[in-house]
Chains A and B, each alone.
Chain A
Amino acid sequence: AQKVTQAQTEISVVEKEDVTLDCVYETRDTTYYLFWYKQPPSGELVFLIRRNSFDEQNEISGRYSWNFQKSTSSFNFTITASQVVDSAVYFCALSEHQMTTDSWGKLQFGAGTQVVVTP
């Protein structure tokens, strides 16, 4: 079963518009981590943010902000005043604790959202 759902396949915006990416996750754990990664055309996944399940405080980091709501199992990500360099595929990911090996190292990714920013 898909644990991380990114319903938006592609979002196209004009430069300087805001972009909000939706992410809905599914887990039975009370402790887990959520991530956002960016994959530009070069292919390398770039780490953006990490949030643990106990920290619902929403923050802003530069042009990035995120909205974590446990009640709706959502972890949305916003790019403010988008730029052409923001064009990439954005992935939401979930990490759950594997008790048998005490491991958090398995990231479960959503399908990704392609963001296209035009000048």
Chain B
Amino acid sequence: KAGVTQTPRYLIKTRGQQVTLSCSPISGHRSVSWYQQTPGQGLQFLFEYFSETQRNKGNFPGRFSGRQFSNSRSEMNVSTLELGDSALYLCASSLSHSYEQYFGPGTRLTVT
């Protein structure tokens, strides 16, 4: 069974731009969560989606948004990029919201 896939793997953007990251969960998994990893703040939860509904949201500004499609694929969007948004963005999927999460390889975003 294929694992979680994330595209693109690497991205370089300029301050003020916006970016969309994509995540395809493991087949059959309906829950998708997003995390941001930075050297200073570590791994921080962004949001969780289940059956196209956002079930949980972390403490991030409204510039960070996401959505989930009927096939469980998910996207997250960051608008008006700031230098501090440079990070590894990890997507994780699970069968349901109470099962272990399996992570993708991440998208490395660099904001210049």
* Interface residues of A, Cβ cutoff 8 Å to B: 33, 35, 37, 42-47, 50, 91, 98, 101-112
Which residues between 14 and 50 of chain B lie within 8 Å of chain A, taking CB atoms?
31, 33, 35, 42-43, 45, 48, 50
A residues within 8 A CB of B92?
A: 45, 107
B residues within 8 A CB of A43?
A: 88, 105-106, 108
Minimum CB–CB distance for B6 against chain A, Å: 10
| Cβ A47 vs Cβ B48 within 8 A | no
Give bound CA distance, A105 to B88, whole Å: 19
Which residues between 43 and 96 of chain B lie within 8 Å of chain A, taking CB atoms?
43, 45, 48, 50, 55-56, 58, 88, 90, 92, 94
Give bound CA distance, A98 to B106, whole Å: 25
| Cβ A35 vs Cβ B98 within 8 A | no
Give bound CA distance, A111 to B59, whole Å: 17
Main secondary structure, interface of B, reads strand
Give bound CA distance, A37 to B35, whole Å: 14
| Cβ B97 vs Cβ A104 within 8 A | yes
A residues within 8 A CB of B104?
A: 44
B42 touches which one: A46, A98, A112 (CB < 8 A)?
Answer: A112
A103 touches which one: B55, B58, B102, B103 (CB < 8 A)?
Answer: B55
| Cβ A101 vs Cβ B56 within 8 A | yes
B56 touches which one: A45, A46, A91, A103 (CB < 8 A)?
Answer: A103
Give bound CA distance, A37 to B103, whole Å: 10
For A42, A104, A105, which residue has the most chain B Cβ atoms within 10 angstroms? A105
Give bound CA distance, A110 to B41, whole Å: 10
| Cβ A105 vs Cβ B101 within 8 A | yes
Minimum CB–CB distance for B101 against chain A, Å: 6
